[in-house]
Amino acid sequence: MELKQFRYSRDNLGYLLYGDSYAIAVDGGAPAEMLEFLSSSGLDLRWVANTHSHADHTCGNLELLEKTDADLIAFEVLRNMDQLELEGERITVIHTPGHTAAVEITAVHYVSGMIAGGRIRTAG
């Protein structure tokens, strides 16, 4: 499983997590760049998902879905999942509330790393 990171907006990151043939977009706010990478790498986008439902994390969803055969995993569904599987590799979904008082974040853990949307803050 590989990871490609895409910076967009002032301080946001989107990700493609991919294997040999398929990918999942997480926080797809850089759809043009993601689509170019998918095309040049010969990858099919299987899913579009978001770590949380803020507009700056969901802004690329529509373009990614319209230009591929991917399915949307809505945040409300993703946060209640334990895992996904992409090309036989397990992707663990970890519910981590606390981005803001009203927002929950879902972290996506895969074999060699983790994607966590929004800012990670520590107390103290």
Q: What is the pLDDT of residues 41-63, one digit of tens each?
A: 999 999 999 887 888 888 999 99
Per-residue pLDDT for 66 more than 80?
A: yes
Report the C-alpha gap between 34 and 25 in whole angstroms: 8
User: Residue 73: how many CA atoms within 13 Å on its side-chain side?
Assistant: 23
Pick the CATH number of 2-115 from 3.80.10.10, 3.60.15.10, 3.40.50.150, 3.10.20.30: 3.60.15.10
**Count of CB atoms within 10 A of residue 117's CB?**
26
Q: Select the more confidently predicted residue: 118 or 14.
A: 14
Tell me the per-residue pLDDT of 79-120, one tens digit each, with 9 for 90 and over: 788 888 999 988 888 777 665 544 455 556 555 566 655 544
Q: Select the more confidently predicted residue: 71 or 96.
A: 71
Strand pairing category for 71-73 and 44-49:
parallel
Whether the CB-CB separation of 11 and 25 falls below 8 Å is answered with no
Report the C-alpha gap between 17 and 6 in whole angstroms: 11
Q: Where are the domains of the chain?
A: 2-115
pLDDT of residue 117: 57
Report the C-alpha gap between 104 and 82 in whole angstroms: 15
pLDDT of residue 115: 61
